[in-house]
Amino acid sequence: MTRPHAMIVRPRARDLGVPFSGPTGPANAITDVPGVRVGHTTLIAGDGPLVIGQGPVRTGVTAILPRSETGIPTPVWAGMHSFNGAGELTGAHFVAEFGWFLGPVCLTGTHSVGVVHDASLQWFLGRHGAAVGPGFWHLPIVGETWDGFLNDSHGRHVRTGHVLAALDEATGGPVAEGAVGGGTGMSCYGYKAGIGTASRVVDATGSWTVGALVQANFGRRGELRVLGRSCPPPAAVEAPAGEGSIIGILGTDAPLLPHQLQRLARRAVLGMARTGSSGHNGSGDIFLAFSTANPLPLDAARGVTALDHLPNERLNPVFAGAADAVEEAILNALVAADTMVGRDGNRVDAIDPAAVATLFR
């Protein structure tokens, strides 16, 4: 079944008393960056033994729209960083070469990258095709992590309609977290996890917002740290000690150039490291950062163009905001997720919120 995405009230890490530093935006989410929207399609169906092509199904897709306008598509400046490259982010070479992309950005399970890429292109052309003309080409951004412990991943249950629904239903404001969208079948530090998000408002020659959204599927239970404190595991089932992966998306309205956004994407690794991971050999830890500032149409005839940007010497608060937001987003992904049983009865337990809260009493 496809799960609708009416917001379910769950505790977030801050609700448990975790004393994060720095002010957040109103939703404490990547959608605090003006114009950014997020949508999910969650697929949960069936129980019991795995039958490839039939289920059980524990997967989905998460869509991020960096710009929500229609009409002529406008690029966002961007940079990416691969901390450990055992994963996939389509369009990464284009971002590295040109320093921008058009969107959308979608996150899903490893074996669904192809259909999500194709559906994203279909959605983009349906939305912008008349404006860009028949000779226009486009590279959607799709990131993945592996959900095969809980999900019939070889069955490739994500379909075109599921991707289109996530894109069409993307909204601003609060974002559903945990076992939703692309994060449905994911685990982190041996606990159930998935999608998490957070934001920071920073002062760097003006007030800017830095938002992060992660699909967290990495780490081993003994590594987990909550603001530097070890969280003692309850007597519960732990997901197998695999290498795992994380895809992290950073958005900001601060005027940054592509090389500065590449530097920003590197700071996401600090947020990941603070939660305990040192980066495993087989983990795909890939981060993309974009800025919605300097909106310029695709116009090769415009000639010399001036761009606003923050001096490099003013970037420290923005860097700190990125690391802080990624750290909190990962912990939100953990706290928001419920225990899940998937294929062949495989089970991943949720983290005990009371155990987290006890750390800071």
pLDDT of residue 76: 96
pLDDT of residue 241: 59
* pTM greater than 0.75: yes
CA-to-CA distance for 353 and 219, rounded, in angstroms? 19
235: which residues sit within 8 A by CB, 6+ positions away? none
Measured CA to CA in angstroms, residue 316 lies from 263, 267, 322, 323, 326 at distances of: 11, 10, 10, 11, 16
Query: Is 230 among the residues known to form the active site?
Result: no
pLDDT of residue 133: 86
User: pLDDT tens digits, the chain, 361 residues: what are they?
Assistant: 555 444 446 789 999 999 999 999 999 999 999 999 999 999 999 999 999 999 999 999 999 999 876 677 899 999 999 999 999 999 999 999 999 999 899 999 999 999 999 999 999 999 988 888 888 899 999 999 999 999 999 999 999 999 999 999 999 999 999 999 999 999 999 999 999 999 999 999 899 999 999 999 999 998 999 999 998 766 566 666 567 899 999 999 999 999 999 999 999 999 999 999 999 998 999 999 999 999 988 776 778 888 999 999 999 999 999 999 999 999 999 999 999 999 999 999 999 999 999 999 8
Q: What count of other Cβ atoms lies within 10 Å of the Cβ of residue 350?
A: 19
Token output for 277: 């991971």
Active-site option among 283, 291, 324, 349: 283
CA-to-CA distance for 319 and 198, rounded, in angstroms? 14
**Interval 191-249: pLDDT, tens:** 999 999 999 999 998 999 999 999 999 999 989 999 999 987 665 666 665 678 999 99
71 neighbors 50 (Cβ within 8 angstroms): no
Closest CA to 178 of 217, 212, 219, 232: 217
Token output for 274: 């603070």
Active-site option among 112, 120, 187, 245: 245
Name residue, tokens 């284009």. 94
Position 260, amino acid: Q
Position 77, amino acid: W
Measured CA to CA in angstroms, residue 182 lies from 43, 143, 151 at distances of: 9, 9, 12
pLDDT of residue 4: 46
**Interval 3-13: pLDDT, tens:** 544 444 678 99
Angle at 296 between CA 173 and CA 25, to 5 degrees: 25
Backbone phi and psi for residue 109, each to the nearest 5 degrees, phi listed first:
-80, 160
DSSP calls for 214-252: EEEEE--GGG-EETTEE-PPPS--------EEEEEEEEE
**Interval 152-172: pLDDT, tens:** 999 999 999 999 999 999 999
Active-site option among 32, 152, 285, 324: 285
Class of domain 21-295+307-347: alpha beta
Query: Is 15 among the residues known to form the active site?
Result: no
Query: Is 245 among the residues known to form the active site?
Result: yes
CA-to-CA distance for 101 and 78, rounded, in angstroms? 7
